[in-house]
């Protein structure tokens, strides 16, 4: 790593503020180089972080963090923030067990004022902080830094509406807009106007003009006001924010550090004068300063390790297709058969595999933006008119639309299929992205069918089953590659609520949901070598559960181990316990699942082993259970 003239001496924003103002451009350049070098080794979120370097540098320089609260939306853009707040030397540990997180975590730094993993939350959180600061009679400021993608979340506009109604005077929203295209001349004029219009003298002139207009006769006042409105339309793209009672400043050039410094200093004076809340509209470019990421920001949003000079990423190791790819291929195949099938995603076409569906069926694909609530109710509306919508949403993001799943889909028994990607342990993304709760909140809902395949071949059959089922159905599947099993040439529908007996046995029943069925089979083989006869059931369905088969086997064996990559509270194991109780079956039961604590980032395989969700852990649980009583 090349030496950094300024960064080596910056361990906090207080150190940053000691840097001469005219040298901050060099700090930003060093930060950008450091981010590229570090992420080239560890992988991570690159393009978004590069695009926010100057913004974060200027915010920390002008505002008194951590006394002033800085809330970042999602955290994809936060690598410069992490480096400026004492975590530069820990960057190589990012996403690894015991290392720093990829997103913001209050437990990690006093400068991470709010945990950020899901988009659209920053303005609500910052408004709450600003209000609490006001209640205490303090004069600190709360700042929300949100991307234009995050602004597609309905929650962001709910927060803007509330902040405007409160006329919250110590709140700043910085909109990091990396999508809007403005020509150089217009951009330069807008930047100049926004900086000058935020200056104290111009604000005083506006006040004088307002008083003057009030003295004019009726007709003259009418035409003067019309002229004023016309000028606002011509000069300001921020009428929406002005209508929400925000003082709009922008657009400003988000990669010119001197422009940002002057703008934020003027904004700070506006707040001191009681002119808040303020929205600063900054134009940036994803991947700015690193040519491969500027050229292809989508590919370089989240990257694996790569070569800095060329931008070439390390080739992925050959292996079986991912579950996401198998889902995409299968949905395309089914959609060729049935023109009623449409695909829906909430700003994740690439992550869910629906980008390939979009290319095949552009008129039958919908990306609704970061709006999971709308995605689900939109799907319900499509289903109400006889279409077959398939909503592909990560498990962690489906949580955001729980009311819509209940009220708009399940209660009305509408034919919506939920393809729940990233179910289970997700690795480096950590606690905010783990998919541990979908079975629990879905299996309680009327009319809902909940499935989990043991491998990619079964995923294909389950997708057809869900699409053909005339009601709500969910298929949950994990992140990453499949097992490499052969794919059946024909996609068949499975009988709803029927499990699969993978191995018969008499001493202990191992009932597994999802891909851990293969670990259960391996555990049964290990136990057989010790004279322990284990039956293994691939449950397939968490709802409706195959209570008949599971109860019969549990009654015969007298000992049951349930296995799932999901929370132990309310999940598959809980469903088995309920079924045994209803059937009056007495058996010793051990539920192997995710414990009731947040699971942070780390290696998925190591985390499964640590939780006893691998072959060795399952076999050990069976031995311990059998040791408590006589074998049947």
Tokens of 614: 């691998």
In whole angstroms, give the CA distance from residue 62 to residue 89. Answer: 24
- Angstrom distances, CA of residue 400 to CA of 53, 101, 432: 30, 22, 12
Contacts of 326 (CB under 8 A, 6+ apart): 456, 459, 460, 482, 487
In whole angstroms, give the CA distance from residue 452 to residue 514. Answer: 5
Q: Say whether 519 sits in a helix, a strand or coil.
A: helix
In whole angstroms, give the CA distance from residue 74 to residue 347. Answer: 14
- Choosing from 82, 105, 286, 476, which is the catalytic residue? 286
Please say if 286 is a catalytic residue: yes
544: left (phi over 0), alpha (psi -120 to 50) or beta: beta
In which element (H, E) is residue 511 found?
strand 508-512
- Angstrom distances, CA of residue 592 to CA of 435, 610, 612, 614: 16, 12, 7, 10
Q: How far is CA 294 from the centre of its chain?
A: 23
Contact status, residue 558 vs residue 509, Cβ threshold 8 Å: no
Among 365, 333, 331, 337, CA closest to 349? 365
Tokens of 18: 């000691």
Please say if 372 is a catalytic residue: yes
Dihedral Cα 549, 552, 557, 563, nearest 10 deg: 30
- Choosing from 34, 54, 262, 372, which is the catalytic residue? 372
Q: What are the residues facing 510 on neighbouring strands?
A: 536, 561
Whether the ω angle into residue 612 lies within 30 degrees of 0, i.e. cis, is no
Please say if 400 is a catalytic residue: yes
User: How many C-beta atoms surround the C-beta of residue 161 within 10 A?
Assistant: 14
- Angstrom distances, CA of residue 142 to CA of 76, 113, 131, 435: 20, 10, 9, 31
- Choosing from 268, 400, 422, 540, which is the catalytic residue? 400
Q: Name the residues annotated as catalytic.
A: 286, 372, 400
């Amino acid at each position: 790593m090349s030496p950094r003239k300024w960064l080596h001496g910056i361990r906090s924003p207080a150190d940053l503020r000691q840097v001469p103002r005219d040298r901050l451009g060099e700090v930003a350049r060093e930060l950008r180089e450091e981010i590229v070098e570090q992420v080239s080794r560890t992988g991570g979120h690159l393009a978004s972080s590069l695009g926010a370097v100057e913004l974060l540098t200027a915010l920390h320089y002008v505002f008194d963090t951590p006394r002033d609260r800085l809330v970042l939306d999602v955290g994809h853009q936060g690598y410069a923030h992490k480096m400026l707040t004492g975590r530069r030397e820990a960057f190589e540990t990012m996403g690894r067990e015991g290392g720093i997180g990829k997103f913001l975590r209050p437990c990690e730094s006093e400068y991470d004022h709010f945990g950020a993993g899901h988009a659209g939350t920053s303005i609500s959180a910052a408004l709450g902080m600003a209000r609490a600061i006001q209640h205490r009679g303090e004069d600190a400021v709360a700042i929300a830094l949100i991307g234009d993608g995050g602004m597609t979340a309905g929650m962001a506009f709910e927060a803007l509406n509330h902040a405007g109604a409160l006329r919250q005077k110590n709140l700043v929203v910085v909109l990091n807009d990396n999508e809007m295209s403005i020509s150089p001349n217009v951009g330069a004029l807008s930047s100049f106007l926004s900086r000058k219009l935020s200056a104290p003298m111009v604000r005083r002139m506006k006040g004088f003009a307002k008083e003057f207009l009030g003295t004019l006769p009726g007709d003259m006042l009418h035409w003067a006001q019309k002229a004023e409105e016309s000028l606002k339309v011509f000069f300001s793209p921020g009428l929406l924010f002005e209508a929400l009672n925000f003082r709009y400043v922008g657009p400003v050039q988000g990669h010119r550090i001197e422009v940002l410094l002057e703008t934020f200093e003027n904004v700070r004076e506006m707040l001191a004068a009681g002119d808040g809340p303020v929205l600063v509209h900054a134009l940036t470019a994803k991947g700015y300063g690193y040519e491969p990421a500027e050229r292809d920001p989508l590919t370089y949003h989240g990257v694996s390790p790569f070569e800095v000079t060329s931008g070439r990423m390390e080739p992925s190791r050959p292996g079986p297709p991912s579950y996401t790819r198998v889902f995409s291929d299968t949905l395309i195949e089914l959609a060729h058969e049935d023109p009623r099938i449409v695909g829906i995603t909430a700003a994740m076409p690439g992550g869910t595999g629906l980008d390939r569906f979009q290319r095949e069926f552009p008129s039958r694909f919908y990306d609704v933006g970061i709006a999971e609530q709308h995605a689900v109710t939109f799907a319900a509306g499509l289903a109400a008119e006889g279409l077959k919508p398939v909503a592909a949403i990560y498990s962690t993001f489906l949580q955001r639309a729980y009311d819509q799943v209940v009220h708009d889909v399940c209660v009305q028994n509408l034919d919506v299929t939920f393809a729940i990607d990233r179910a289970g342990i997700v690795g480096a993304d950590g606690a905010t992205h783990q998919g541990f709760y979908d079975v629990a909140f879905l299996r309680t809902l009327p009319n809902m069918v909940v499935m989990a395949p043991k491998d990619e071949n079964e995923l294909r059959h389950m997708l057809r089953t869900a699409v053909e089922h005339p009601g709500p159905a969910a298929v949950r599947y994990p992140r990453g590659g499949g097992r490499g099993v052969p794919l059946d040439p024909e996609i068949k529908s499975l009988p709803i609520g029927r499990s699969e007996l993978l191995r018969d046995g008499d001493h202990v029943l191992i009932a597994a949901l999802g891909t851990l069925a293969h670990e259960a089979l391996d555990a049964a083989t290990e136990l057989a070598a010790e004279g322990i006869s284990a039956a293994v059931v691939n449950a397939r369905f968490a709802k409706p559960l195959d209570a008949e088969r599971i109860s019969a086997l549990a009654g015969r064996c007298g000992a049951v181990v349930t296995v799932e990559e999901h929370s132990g509270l309310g999940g598959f194991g809980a469903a088995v316990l309920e079924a045994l109780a209803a059937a009056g079956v007495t058996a010793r039961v051990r539920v192997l699942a995710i414990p009731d604590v947040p699971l942070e980032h780390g290696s998925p395989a190591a985390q499964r082993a640590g939780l006893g969700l691998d072959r060795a852990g399952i076999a050990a649980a069976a031995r311990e259970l059998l040791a408590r009583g006589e074998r049947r």
